[in-house]
Amino acid sequence: MIPVPLLVCVVAVWCTVYLADTLLRSSATHRISYESWLASRGLMLSPFHVRWQTTMFNRLFAYCARINPRALYLWFSSGLVFGIVSMLGSVVLLVKTLQQTLAQMTTDNPRMGGQQTLQVVIPGVNLPTSQLAYFFTALLLSGVIHELGHAVAALREQVRVNGFGMFMFVVYPGAFVDLFTTHLNLISPIQQLRIFCAGVWHNFVLCVAALAVLFLLPLFLFPMYFTGAGALVTEVVQGSAAEGPRGLSVGDIVTALEDCPVRGVEEWSSCLFHLSHTPQTGYCVPTASLQPSWAHGRAFKRLDGTMDCCSNNSLTDLCFSYVKPQSRNSRDREYACMPVRKMVTGTRACRTDSECAAQSNTASVCVTPSLENQTRFIRVTHPPNTHMLFVGYPPHLQYSVSLTNFVPRFGFLHLDLPVFLETFCKYVVSLSGALAVVNSVPCFALDGQWMLNALLEATLVTVVTDRQKRELIGFFLLLAGSALLAVNVALGLWMVTAR
């Protein structure tokens, strides 16, 4: 849930700003000077909304619009093609998302449905509050690049830019450009399309650039960090199963989970997924070490039908099962409560007794921890420390630690630098891509509205000669696109809050 102190702080700040604005505007002494101060700085205030506009970047936009005119023509023409394709693709994507959402709602348990194509993000609900800085910074960057595309494309088409600005609505930042409407209405529909499509085109390019940086990050950081040696622990959740004297610590490098090698975070996740969906791994233990425990192997059934033989709930002992020596029936099993670390430290993983016989000259059997259905016993290798022994549900281990692929070459390097770059690039990819998709939707008040209107003017002028009829067609298409987007957002919010 959204932290109450954060929510109170946001509301208090906005109430203070609005109260101060109201008092200054109602003051006979300070009203004129205050409004002049706001106007000189391009500031506008309203409840939960502040807007700033300036002309200081107009020269920069004009300079960019004059760089290699031929290349810019090809660049924004490519954006025009991308904008038209993305407008059609966004509709298909929203229809597919709506179908998936409705399918989840009609299942017996909507929480267990498949993954959505698009997901509504709510800070504090499905977005960790610890990553709000990444989210808002990436959102602002994506908005600025989006508007930069509009501004440069407009100046290239001889449309005046009145100014550039940024705004804050509650906690969400954004950017905008103010174009001279008269100039915009005088140019051809194709020129208008280049301007309207430039925003989503630049968002797509930013998304691709961030994705490239993400994949090339090991190369960029190679002089300072290396990869492939394991998954480096950067954080351990306090009070979790991974914490403790023999647990994981910040700076440990995990190299294996059972007999599954871990060379990075991806292997860590895949190994945990594999271990949680396969039968429990066994361990080759000499038969002689089992003999003293046979007399204490009084097993009893748990509620789920599995067997337990450690009734004292010891933190050091665990119930193991194995096939009785000389028995030919694999179902004829013996149970023994044994000290778990002593029994499995330094032993090999196995599935059958024959594997143990092939690996050792001494008489050995394959013992398997007798645990509840979804519970697993996992040995976590993080040299030079002894194994961490985990007993529980594998996803709990995954959520207990934060890991990175990058291991510093020098002790003074910070462990979190690669994590910061990775996380920020991932947010830029997600948010810039989302802005490209959403703004392409033929919907009122979005870029898709102007893209659709310009497209209809460019393509239907010879088929539907009456301008009012073309506008009517555009209105109904925009109405359908707006309804499609609104339904997706509404159902997406319902699915998120229903979790």
Q: Which residues are catalytic?
A: 147
Asked if 418 contacts 404 with a C-beta cutoff of 8 angstroms, the reply is: yes
CA atoms within 13 A on the CB side of 116: 24
Tokens of 150: 């509009």
Dihedral of CA atoms 397, 497, 10, 131 in degrees, nearest 10, equals 30
Query: Distance between CA atoms of 329 and 325, rounded to whole angstroms?
Result: 10
Query: Distance between CA atoms of 100 and 50, rounded to whole angstroms?
Result: 37
Tokens of 366: 């394959």
Residue closest to 98 by CA, chosen among 483, 496, 495, 487: 487
Query: Distance between CA atoms of 254 and 236, rounded to whole angstroms?
Result: 13
Three-state DSSP state, 345? coil
Sequence-distant (6+) residues with CB within 8 A of 208 are none
CA dist 365 → 168, 210, 288 (Å): 67, 52, 10
Rounded (5°) CA angle 225-231-233: 90
CB neighbourhood size of 378 (10 A): 22
**Dihedral (CA of 493, 494, 497, 499) sign:** negative
